[in-house]
Amino acid sequence: MSSLSWEMDQRNYIIHPHKFALWLFILTVIMIFGGLTSAYIVQRGFLKPEQQIIFDLPPILWTNLAVILGSSVTMQFAVWAARRNDSQKAIAGLILTFVLGLVFLYGQFNGWNQMVASGLPMVDRRRLDNAVSFFYIFTGLHGLHIVAALIVLLTAMANTAMNRFRPGRKQLTYELTAIFWHFLGLLWIYLFIFLKFTQR
């Protein structure tokens, strides 16, 4: 396994196989969220205006928008530091990104609490409009991807701290992590805008 990975690192590719696999995964995630947002629009199209639920998004989601944008900056800082082989700054960038990721998840959890406190739980059989349920699904599924990315960040931090990367693998790992993290930031911007404008 290790020798195969080493050989893959030594070849010249138009796009590295690991990056290609990641982009395929990202495409799958895009299709999933595209399908969900389409289903959201379709189900609301079958409802009369008086049956639709119009609700304000929890204010903390604005803060979360700024947090995830800031985390992309710290993630990119880590990538640049890794390119210069500056492990200390690379780890610092990963730590800041990890902390901001936790802050984002905490904000999402608070957003759910605010929704419940306003009388909008995830499930309510009296509702004909599933817009509220979709809100929980969108934010929850995105949150699960953030959790997965945080695990990747922890792994990268540990390998950097213990200098366990083989030649050529450190930069690739940082770039793959950054691509996925930036994608999650863009995905949240899309979901935020989608939810904001479909509640008008």
Q: Spell out the per-residue pLDDT of the chain, length 200, in tens.
A: 444 444 445 466 778 888 999 999 999 999 999 999 999 999 988 888 888 888 899 999 999 999 999 999 999 999 999 999 899 999 999 999 999 999 999 999 999 999 999 999 999 888 888 889 999 999 999 999 999 999 999 999 999 988 887 767 888 899 999 999 999 999 999 999 999 988 76
Structural domain boundaries, residue 22: 14-47+60-198
| 7 domain-assigned | no
pLDDT for position 150: 98
| 55 domain-assigned | no
CATH code at position 147: 1.20.120.80
Q: Are 191 and 139 in contact (CB under 8 A)?
A: yes
For 109, the token pair is: 């959890």
Residue 10 CB coordination number (10 Å): 9
pLDDT for position 130: 87
Residue whose structure tokens are 């949240």: 188
- Specify the number of domains making up the chain: 1
| 189 domain-assigned | yes
pTM: 0.89
| 133 domain-assigned | yes
| 112 domain-assigned | yes
Q: Of 129, 109, 108, which Cα lies nearest the Cα of 199?
A: 129
What is d(CA 123, CA 169) in angstroms, rounded to the nearest whole number?
46
| 65 domain-assigned | yes
